[in-house]
């Protein structure tokens, strides 16, 4: 019996997707629930599972095509064997040749490839690699795309891996490459332009002495990790400090809807994560009700899934306020762009030792510049500055967060 494989229901607000890779060709055997194709949306990569076991009979859509929910992607013959997938004449020869080529291309990929994320699996298969031979840095020993790229770059005679570049065009002895944006990168570009064209964005700065946070972490980090199974990072302190400041200045946790201001009485904090595919912002929901350990665990898990390409669309949807940390890349100061429809974003930066005047004496202190970009349509400069001051006070005296002062 022939069974049509269709595009699965797409997440809310997503209208279409791009078919980025087929993992099966006509004539090949297919197992039930086996991933046969990868679809890339504006935010995540989705897998297309086989609804039944059989043989791939026909591909209806080529790689790179745009598809919509419910569209037919392929047809499988349920219960058939691969040797009988294509019957008769030239058609059988063509299907057999395609199947043989596909088997050759993936002959050296072991079963472990089935556990990889779509983007990692595609890179492994295209380069005929053994995943077990590549050092893994992901959560629970999982292989990430960065691991594969680094492995390829370090091989003798290896060239830098780049996403499907077009043939170089020579101009006056020089060359250039034209590469199509991924859907995620294109969507990021759209959202950033929309934010700047629809909001009155302004950035205010302050600086914070993180001596107290560093001392607190140094004093308790070993016991914290032993009891909770996660490292005590800086981000949980900033999330908690931001929540205390948002409580004092609720308009910064608000958003604009037409002529209305929506004051959110909950704290769903987005934490920006850099991935090979672009910036993603998973949401720590009801962060005010969560402990430092819970926040650290969630951020770590979200970051791992985002980089592996397995994060769910629900993890990226919503949010009332965002924190981004350019300091991990060495940024000393920046003006982050608001993650619309939110009205503000906090930017963290590199911790750098600087001479400061403390109690009339010059002392070397670990300092960090903070930035808050905000929608000036509803947030005044006074509120933005006082918001930063409130964060600064919480971080320079963490006991305030415990006492709620």
User: Annotated catalytic sites, by residue?
Assistant: 376, 380
| Rounded alpha-carbon distances, angstroms, from residue 210 to 216, 353, 363 | 10, 10, 14
- Per DSSP (E only), the strands in 115-266 are 169-171, 174-176, 201-209, 254-257, 260-263
Q: In which residue are the tokens 């030792």 written?
A: 353
Of the candidates 274, 295, 265, 292, the residue with the CA atom closest to the CA atom of residue 283: 295
| Distance (Å, whole) CA 367 – CA 344 | 23
Q: Are 124 and 23 in contact (CB under 8 A)?
A: no
Sign for the CA dihedral angle at 244, 305, 231, 208 comes to negative
| Distance (Å, whole) CA 374 – CA 382 | 12
The CB-side HSE value for 254 (13 A sphere, CA atoms) comes to 19
| Distance (Å, whole) CA 397 – CA 287 | 20
Q: Are 180 and 155 in contact (CB under 8 A)?
A: no
| Rounded alpha-carbon distances, angstroms, from residue 21 to 11, 35, 49, 120, 155 | 20, 11, 13, 12, 25
| Distance (Å, whole) CA 209 – CA 206 | 10
211-241: b or e for each residue (b if 16 or more CB lie within 10 Å)?
bbbeebbeeeeeebeeeeebebbbbbbbbbb
């Amino acid at each position: 019996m022939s069974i049509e494989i269709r595009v699965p229901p797409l997440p809310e607000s997503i209208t279409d997707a791009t078919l980025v890779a087929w993992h099966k060709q006509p004539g090949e055997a297919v197992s039930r629930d086996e991933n046969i194709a990868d679809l890339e949306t504006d935010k995540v990569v989705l897998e297309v599972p086989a609804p039944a076991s059989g043989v791939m009979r026909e591909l209806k859509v080529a790689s790179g095509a745009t598809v919509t929910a419910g569209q037919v992607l392929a047809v499988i013959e349920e219960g058939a064997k691969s040797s009988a997938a294509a019957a008769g004449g030239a058609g059988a020869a063509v299907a057999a040749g395609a199947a043989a080529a596909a088997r050759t291309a993936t002959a050296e990929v072991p079963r472990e490839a089935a556990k990889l994320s779509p983007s990692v699996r595609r890179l492994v298969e295209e380069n005929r690699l053994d995943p077990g031979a590549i050092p893994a840095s992901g959560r629970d020993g999982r292989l990430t795309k960065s691991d594969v790229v680094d492995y390829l770059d370090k091989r003798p005679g290896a060239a830098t891996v780049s996403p499907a570049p077009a043939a170089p065009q020579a101009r006056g002895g020089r060359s250039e490459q034209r590469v199509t944006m991924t859907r995620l990168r294109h969507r990021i570009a759209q959202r950033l332009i929309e934010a700047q064209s629809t909001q009155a964005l302004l950035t205010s700065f302050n600086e914070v002495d993180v001596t107290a946070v560093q001392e607190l972490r140094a004093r308790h980090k070993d016991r914290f990790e032993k009891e909770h199974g996660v490292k005590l990072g800086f981000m949980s302190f900033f999330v908690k400090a931001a929540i205390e400041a948002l409580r004092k200045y609720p308009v910064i946790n608000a958003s604009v809807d037409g002529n209305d201001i929506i004051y959110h009485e909950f704290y769903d904090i987005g934490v920006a994560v850099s991935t090979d595919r672009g910036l993603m912002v998973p949401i720590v929901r009801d962060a005010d009700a969560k402990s430092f350990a819970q926040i650290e665990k969630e951020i770590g898990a979200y970051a791992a899934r985002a980089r592996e390409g397995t994060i769910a669309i629900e993890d990226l949807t919503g949010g009332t306020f965002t924190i981004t940390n350019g300091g991990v890349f060495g940024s000393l100061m920046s003006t982050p762009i608001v993650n619309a429809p939110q009205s503000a974003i906090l930017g963290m930066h590199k911790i750098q030792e600087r001479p400061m005047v403390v109690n009339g004496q010059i002392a070397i202190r670990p300092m960090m510049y903070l930035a808050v970009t905000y929608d000036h349509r509803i947030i005044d400069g006074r509120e933005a500055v006082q918001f930063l001051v409130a964060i600064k006070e919480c971080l320079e005296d963490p006991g305030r967060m415990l006492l709620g002062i």
